[in-house]
A and B are shown apart, each in its own frame.
Chain A
């Protein structure tokens, strides 16, 4: 679906952050939004842990988060590991569970989230947001 068709030409890409832990997802969302500075703000939603507050992955929370941030310009989903990766892949394979234009982005969780929120907030399209998040892999720390 094109941005024009659904959310207008200036619709922002939504970001969903999926972690095994609710507090981790929430904190990374807060960090990414905090570091993205002023200007247009991309919608960001955290989907961490299980609905009862435990550690794990919840398809329900992920689906809900994706719907919350969908503005018609696509949704970039960043995940931490294991079941978070597999659950999002399985949901995407279902076809109708996540909003159209949802994409699992291959990126490091924290660094990728910051890059995704910054680029999405600047109005970049889903391809550019995914590319920026993925590029975070190439930043060496030693």
Chain B
């Protein structure tokens, strides 16, 4: 993994790439959310990340930490579903851990994201294997020690691997056994976040 400092401009491109991916995949996310959720994940995240892209464009933050805290704040305010506070907490906690540094290393980002993912687990009261975002986020952060591309791959695999799992959190958990056989929408959108990161660092 390179020691090149990642700057605010790169973090802004990351969030913009995530917004573009969410935009492109919104229908699929909502479709995944139909059998086991309330069919709003795609449109909710689309609204959230559109607001993120707008806020970052209107007043571009000058540190990576500020990019993520701004993005997280937008998600908490605009998403309207559980993914808002969850993604918002992920990005804000990660951003706060990065502090005021004008540039951060990949290892610093990995450590900060670890804290962000732990905060998501705490907020949602969930663990890996519960068929949630964590099933993509957790392996992605682990694989980040290798490379951004490896993290994206691990997240995608984690999302796909939620299919046979029984949901233990959120509305899907009310379905019990019937939640098996569907890929988790939250894990799927989490994979997009890491796909976007791999895209802008490639």
A binding-site residues for B, Cβ under 8 Å: 50, 54-60, 82-83, 86-87, 89-91, 93-94
Contact = CB atoms under 8 A, between A and B. Distances in A.
A125 to B, nearest CB: 28
Interface in B65-93: 73, 76-78, 80-86, 88-89, 92
Interface residues of B, number: 21
A86 B80 contact: no
Contact of B89 (A59, A82, A93): A93
A87 B123 CA distance: 10
Contacts of B61: none
- Interface centre among A90, A91, A94, by most chain B C-beta atoms within 10 angstroms, is A90
Interface of B: 38, 40, 44, 73, 76-78, 80-86, 88-89, 92, 123-124, 170-171
Given A59-B84, A82-B82, A83-B85, A91 B76 contact: yes
Nearest to B82: A83
Contacts, number: 51
A90 B88 contact: yes
Contacts of A60: 77
Contact of A57 (B80, B123, B170, B171): B80
- Interface centre among B44, B84, B89, B123, by most chain A C-beta atoms within 10 angstroms, is B84
B156 to A, nearest CB: 25
B85 A50 contact: no
B77 A86 contact: no
B81 A56 contact: yes
A94 B84 CA distance: 14
- Interface centre among B81, B89, B123, by most chain A C-beta atoms within 10 angstroms, is B81
B186 to A, nearest CB: 12
A120 to B, nearest CB: 26
